[in-house]
Structure 1
Amino acid sequence: MKGSAAAVRPGEDLTPAVALFRGLADPTRLAILRRLADGEARVVDLTGELGLAQSTVSAHLACLRGCGLIVGRPEGRQMFYALTRPELLELLAAAEGLLAATGQKVALCPNYGAPATDCGESCG
């Protein structure tokens, strides 16, 4: 990738990118974002569709709003949530493509994936 736009430059601060991917790494937040990729939704819609408690959904929505990934649109007494940037859809699609291309091997990653069922005490 020498010379590409994605190359790491000496002294470059990767903290914002790390924060973005940490935010996307939470299963609940990722599920909410994937649902919002289909269109805006209210808290009650998300709790019903994702099978989560209202307090859980609300906390994750607050996090996503704070990160600038979603926006809330009030309508009467209700708030409708939507993605803020179309690039997020592209990022999620690229991630799904990468997972498909690797045959989901990342799910078996010893550091971040699900632990193997027969690894004994070596699994963390």
Structure 2
Amino acid sequence: MNPARVCDRADLSAAGALFRGLADPTRLAILRNLASGEARVVDLTGILGLAQSTVSGHLACLRDCGLVTARPEGRQMFYALAQPELLDLLAAAQRLLATTGQQISLCPNYGTPDC
């Protein structure tokens, strides 16, 4: 086996983990909102119309992935994007989606079912 291929698989495994972390629409919505600045859980629940426990769970996932930071201030916690490069990745994804049209949505494995 080619040693370079083993290294590539390790790199791809980390990339796969990153994309699994970004795979949930709620986490993407949270990240999109944090792109405009810090927010508290209560801010995000109001914007997204989701339960506090749902938003908190997704923020914990994003923190575990190193994509979001938390800054305590008194009894509140302010969340922010940890890596500005994430904005570039999300913008690139939007450009890709714009070029593929509905193909991604129609994907039999990951698309949205019509029924």
Corresponding position of 1:76: 74
The equivalent of 2:18 in structure 1 is: 20
Cα distance, 1:116 vs. partner?
3.6
Q: How many residues align?
A: 109
Q: Secondary structure at the match of 1:104?
A: coil
The normalised TM-score by structure 2 is 0.90
Q: After TM superposition, where is structure 1 displaced by more than 2 Å over at least 4 residues in a row?
A: none
User: Greater helix percent: which structure?
Assistant: 2
Q: Which amino acid aligns with 1:90?
A: D
**C-alpha distance in structure 1 between counterparts of 2:74 and 2:101, whole Å:** 46
Moved more, 38-47 or 101-110: 101-110
Amino acid at match of 2:34: L
Residues 75-104 of structure 1: CA distance to partner in whole angstroms, max 9, x if unpaired? 111111000111100000000000011113
Match for 1:60 among 38, 45, 58?
58
2:31 corresponds to: 33
The amino acid of 1:78's aligned partner reads: Q
> CA offset at residue 106 of structure 1?
0.7
Aligned residue for 1:71, secondary structure, equals strand
What is the match of residue 44 of structure 2? 46
Structure 2 equivalent of residue 10 of structure 1: 5
Show the counterpart of 1:115.
Answer: 113
Computing the radius of gyration over CA atoms, which structure comes out larger, 1 or 2?
A: 1
Cα RMSD for the two superposed structures: 1.1
User: What displacement does 1:115 show?
Assistant: 2.0
Structure 1 Cα separation of the partners of residues 62 and 79 of structure 2: 10
Deviations 1:16-65 (A, max 9, x none): 11110011001111111111111110000000000000011111111111
Once the two structures are aligned, what percentage of the paired residues are identical? 74
Gap regions ≥5 residues in structure 1: 1-8, 118-124
Secondary structure, counterpart of 2:104 in structure 1: helix
TM-score by length of 1: 0.83
